[in-house]
Chain A
Amino acid sequence: DAKTTQPPSMDCAEGRAANLPCNHSTISGNEYVYWYRQIHSQGPQYIIHGLKNNETNEMASLIITEDRKSSTLILPHATLRDTAVYYCIVRVAPNYGQNFVFGPGTRLSVLP
């Protein structure tokens, strides 16, 4: 699986959009970009994933650059409950029998 690079930490004001970047310059054509988050002392929670088109769901939007070498997770209106570590993972997917490889992620702090 291709490796990803994320800033170790970010702050965001409550109610504002949180934009979390991820670099994956060595991504292969068949690898997807996944985003998970982990709130303190809980298991990781799936947020969104995409291949090359931008994706949106009830939690967030995923913007993938045209060359697919980077992406941005957008939380449109961050709340205090969005404070968590956010993991950007690239992998061949969907792949039932393959685990996820977690990097250090970005620790997002939403400030009141």
Chain B
Amino acid sequence: GAVVSQHPSWVICKSGTSVKIECRSLDFQATTMFWYRQFPKQSLMLMATSNEGSKATYEQGVEKDKFLINHASLTLSTLTVTSAHPEDSSFYICSASLRSRGLAGVKWNEQFFGPGTRLTVL
């Protein structure tokens, strides 16, 4: 199946610093990627939809100036947590959809998720 990678897999930073997380589709192109956040013992919550070449769409309650998303190419989206605080400590996961062409034309397949990035803000 298609592979989505994230870097780094974990990061510890001081309060007030910024952290960049990369999400890459390794063997396919992804026009749209999604960023999720998961707190301990909770389910995944969508933060934003990242569209290649355009601005990201943020979910209600997610600060776009704090969580900067850049989707500069069809294989890379980045999430930057600016001025991180301890409450931003979480597991951040990205996903991408694989689009393939079948006998009946274009076919949208299931989404593939990255392995996640664990952010700890001290």
Contacts and interface: CB of A to CB of B under 8 A. Distances in A.
A45 B42 CA distance: 17
B108 A43 contact: no
Interface residues of B, number: 29
B113 interface: yes
Contacts of B45: 102
Nearest to A45: B113
Contacts of B113: 36, 43-46
A103 B116 CA distance: 18
Nearest to A49: B110
Contacts of A45: 113
B41 to A, nearest CB: 9
A96 B91 contact: no
Contacts of A87: 43
Interface in B35-77: 36, 42-46, 49
A57 B113 CA distance: 19
Contacts of A96: 31-32, 97, 99, 108
Interface of A: 34, 36, 38, 41-46, 49, 87, 93-97, 99-105
Interface of B: 1, 4, 6, 31-32, 34, 36, 42-46, 49, 91, 93, 95, 97, 99, 107-116, 118
